[in-house]
A and B are shown apart, each in its own frame.
Chain A
Amino acid sequence: SAVISQKPSRDICQRGTSLTIQCQVDSQVTMMFWYRQQPGQSLTLIATANQGSEATYESGFVIDKFPISRPNLTFSTLTVSNMSPEDSSIYLCSVEGSYEQYFGPGTRLTVT
């Protein structure tokens, strides 16, 4: 299994600002994913981040709004840009392990 940490664990931000979320894994992994979980909802995949290539975004998510970096096999960042209250969610990163995905503890973002 993989141990994943995220920073920050929570934040309250003003609209129009940006927040960068960090995801650190204790082992090298090829595939990392970023999910959004809106209040009371299920998880929705934002993008897949593979080291050495551009992130692949799902329908409804764009790079200008959610830029992602993947500088090495243990680390990734997701930035939520020009935030609005609708961006208030839990953001989770995950990694592909042996036929399953392991999740980080999530970042709870509140935009006021």
Chain B
Amino acid sequence: AQTVTQSQPEMSVQEAETVTLSCTYDTSENNYYLFWYKQPPSRQMILVIRQEAYKQQNATENRFSVNFQKAAKSFSLKISDSQLGDTAMYFCAFRGSNYKLTFGKGTLLTVNP
């Protein structure tokens, strides 16, 4: 079974600064997908970024980028130029060959003005 670990229950950052959220996972599969989802107080799950395991290049979406280290089974999210609207719970998730998502416990990110 896959496991996803987020070791930072809470983090805070000043507006306009950069913050990195950590995620590690464990799997015996070779082909899989990793995701970061954002859940603001509205509770809507919003996909932030996706990484295919077979791609060596790290995914980037505007201010969001990942550092994917396949051998280390590490998948961190970097948020640049943090904005107040980035305040949310962030979940790291793994999807293997069975299409099921396994989520980490989440990191509550607060962006301070």
Contacts and interface: CB of A to CB of B under 8 A. Distances in A.
B91 interface: yes
Interface residues of B, number: 20
Given A41-B105, A42-B104, A96 B99 contact: yes
B78 interface: no
Contacts of B47: 100-102
A95 to B, nearest CB: 10
Would you call the interface of chain B mostly helix, strand, loop, or mixed?
Answer: strand
Contacts of B102: 45
A62 interface: no
A31 B100 CA distance: 10
Interface string B77-113: 0000000000000010001000111111110000000
Interface string A90-102: 1010101001111
Interface in B15-48: 33, 35, 37, 42-45, 47
Interface in A37-65: 37, 41-45, 48
Contacts of A41: 105
Interface residues of A, number: 21
Given A43-B91, A100-B50, A105-B43, A33 B101 contact: yes
A75 interface: no
B33 A100 contact: yes
A102 B87 CA distance: 21
Interface of A: 31, 33, 37, 41-45, 48, 90, 92, 94, 96, 99-103, 105-106, 108
18 contacts: A31-B99, A42-B91, A43-B45, A43-B91, A43-B103, A45-B100, A48-B99, A90-B43, A94-B101, A96-B99, A100-B33, A100-B50, A101-B95, A103-B37, A105-B42, A106-B43, A106-B45, A108-B43
